[in-house]
Amino acid sequence: MTDQLSIVLSQMTQAVGDLAANADAMRKVRARHLAADLILYPEFQLIGYPPEDLVLKPALAERAAKLLAELAAETADGGPAMLVGSVERASDENGGDKLYNIVALLDGGKVIATRRKHELPNYGTFDEKRIFAPGPLPDVVEWRGIKLGLPICEDGWLPTVCRHLAARGAELLISVNGSPYEIDKDDRRLTQVFASRVSETKLPLIFLNRIGGQDELVFDGCSFVLNGDGSTAHRLTDWEAEERATRWTKSAHGWTCEAGAIADWEAHPADIYSAMILSLRDYVERNGFPGVVLGLSGGIDSAICAAIAADALGPDKVWCVMLPSRFTSQSSLDDAAGCAEMIGCRLDTIPIVPAVEAFDQMLSGSFADRQVDITEENVQSRIRGVTLMALSNKFGPMLLTTGNKSEMSVGYATIYGDMAGGYNPLKDAYKMTVFALAKWRNENVPRLSRNRVAPVMPDTIITKPPSAELRPDQKDEDSLPPYADLDRMLHMLVEEEASVDDVVARYGFDRDAVVRIERLLMLAEYKRRQAPPGVKLSTRNFGRDRRYPITHGFRTG
C-alpha cells in the first residue's frame, strides 16, 4: 500500500468523432509524464463531448472499444495508469442494446475497471437520457491499494453518487467532466456544487474539465483540486490546455494534496470575450475554412465581430466588406474604414446601389400600388447577404453573421439577409453586453488573442445611436425601447421565463410596451430556427436551451 501519489490532470481539448486523434493526444500527454502514477483525462476524451446522435452509430462504439484496448495495452510498460472517458455498448438482461457513458481505468496492460455514469442530465444543452442508459450506483475502484470514487460529471453535480461512494469507503473522489461555459459557472462549480460534495463526504475531490469549442458550446476548463477540509489546493488556467502534476500524501486523516498554483480566472467581460474567441477559432479551423468574411457597416455589432474574428484567427484571415447604400452615412463609411485599419484586416467596398435599383425596376410593376415600407429595407439586407455569400462561395471564407441577442429576440433581423452565414459570435449576447465588450476590448488585449492591438474601433462606433441605415435618419430606438430597458425585459422573459406582470412589477415599465416585446419575442421564433449557430453564453440561449414551438397562442400579457 502506498502513501505517496502523483496524479496528473490533463485539461485538454477534444475532436468529436476523431477517435484516433484523441487517442494520440492522450498518448502524448502520457509520454510527457511517465513518472506519474495516474493521468486523468476529461469526460468522453476518447470520442469527444458532446457526441450527440453520432454515438448511435455502432461503428463509433466499436472503434472506441478497439482504441481503448490499445491504450490499455500500452500501460504494460510500467508507466502511469490512465483514467479515460469513453462510450460502451452492451446488452442488457433482455438482450437489448444499451449505450453507456463510462470511464475506464487502464493499468498494467489492461482495462482494470470501468464505471458507468449514473446521473444522466436532461436539461438545457444536455440530452443524455435519450441516448444513454444510466449505470447503477457505482462502487469504488480499488487501485494500488487505494479506493477511488469515480463520479462522472453529473454524478458529482448531485449528492447521491458521491455520498454512496463515501459510504462504500472511497478515499478520493475523481470527477471527470464535460461542463460547458456559462456566465458565472466557474465560481458556481467550485464554491457551490463541488464544495458541497466535499463538505458532505469529507473527502478530497478532483474536478477535471475539458476546453475548446464544439459547435454552439465552448468549454472553459477551470479544473481544480479540493482537499477534504474544503481548501483549494490547485486551480488550473481557464480557456487553455494545461497538464498539472499534483502530489498526494496519505496520513491518518486520509489523502491530502500538496498546495499548488491557484490560477486567476477571468472576470466579466473578459471571460465572455474569451468564450467568443475560442468558440469561433475552433469552429472555423475544425471545419476547414481558410478564414472569415463579414459585412462591416460602421456599427458596433459588426465592429466587435471583426475584432473577435481577428483575435480568434489573426487579422490576415478576416475579410471585411463595406456594402453602402444611398442611406449609408459618411460617418459609417469613415468608422468602418477606421475599424478595419485599427484591427489590421482587409476592407473592400462594394456598393449595393446598382442592385437596389435593379430590384426596384424588377418589382415596380408588382409594387405599383403599394407604398414603400419595410419590404424595401429587407431587399437591401438580402442584397448584402447574397453579395457576401457570393464572396464566401467564390473564395472560401466562412460568412460571419453579426446580429445580437436583443435583435434576434424581437425579430429585428432579416432572414436570408443579415442572418445569412455560418456562425454568429454575438448570438447569445444582448446589446448592452456588446457595448461592454466593445469598451473593454478597446482598452485591453485578450489573453487568447492572435491580434495584439488595442484599441480596435473608433470611439464613435460605441457612442453613436445604433441604426440599421435602411431608410433616412433611421434609429433603432424609433421602434424599440432603449436597449438598457429592452435587455432587462428580455432577460426576464427569456432567461427567467417571467410573465409580463412580473417584468412590470420589477422595473415599472409601461405594461403595453412589455406586452409588445413579448409578442415580438414569440413571433420571431421561426426566424431563430433558421439562424446560424453561435456560442452559448447564458443559461437560456436560443437553440439548445430554449426550444419553443413556432406556432402557438400563449401569451402572459
- The full DSSP string for 397-450 is PEEBP---HHHHHHT-S-TTTTT-SSB-TTTT--HHHHHHHHHHHHH---TT-S
CA 466 from centroid of its chain's CA atoms: 27
Would you say 120 and 154 are in contact if contact means Cβ atoms under 8 Å apart? yes
What is the per-residue pLDDT across 278-308, written as a single tens digit (0 to 9) for each?
A: 999 999 999 999 999 999 999 999 999 999 9
Read off the pTM: 0.94
Q: In the numeric block, which cell numbers belong to residue 464?
A: 453613436
Q: Is 162 assigned a catalytic role? A: no
pLDDT for position 315:
98
β-bridge partners, 542: 546
User: So what's the pLDDT on residue 410?
Assistant: 95
- In this predicted structure, what is the pLDDT of residue 477? 72
Domain residues of the chain, as ranges? 4-257, 270-480
Q: Which three cell numbers stand for residue 71?
A: 491504450
Catalytic residue among 117, 405, 431, 527: 117
Q: 117 an active-site residue?
A: yes
Q: Cα 255 to the chain's mean position, in Å?
A: 35
Write down the architecture of domain 270-480 according to CATH. Answer: 3-Layer(aba) Sandwich (3.40)
Q: Which CATH code of 3.60.110.10, 3.40.50.261, 3.40.50.2300, 3.30.1050.10 fits the domain covering 4-257?
A: 3.60.110.10
Within 228-329, strands assigned E span 232-235, 242-251, 254-257, 292-295, 318-322
What are the residues whose beta carbons fall under 8 Å from the beta carbon of 392, sequence distance 6 or more?
293, 398, 399, 422
Catalytic one among 88, 128, 153, 162?
153
DSSP string covering 62-99: HHHHHHHHHHHHHGGGS--EEEEEEEEEEE-TTS-EEE
Q: Clarify whether 527 is annotated catalytic.
A: no
All cell numbers assigned to 335: 468608422
Mind listing the pLDDT tens digit for each residue in 27-47?
999 999 999 999 999 999 999
Amino acid 468: pLDDT: 65
pLDDT value at residue 469: 62
Listed as ranges, residues in the chain with pLDDT below 70 are 1, 95, 468-471, 474
Q: Which of 504, 509, 508, 506 is nearest to 556 (CA)?
A: 504
43, 216, 407, 518: the catalytic one is 43
Look up residue 192 and give its three cell numbers: 457551490
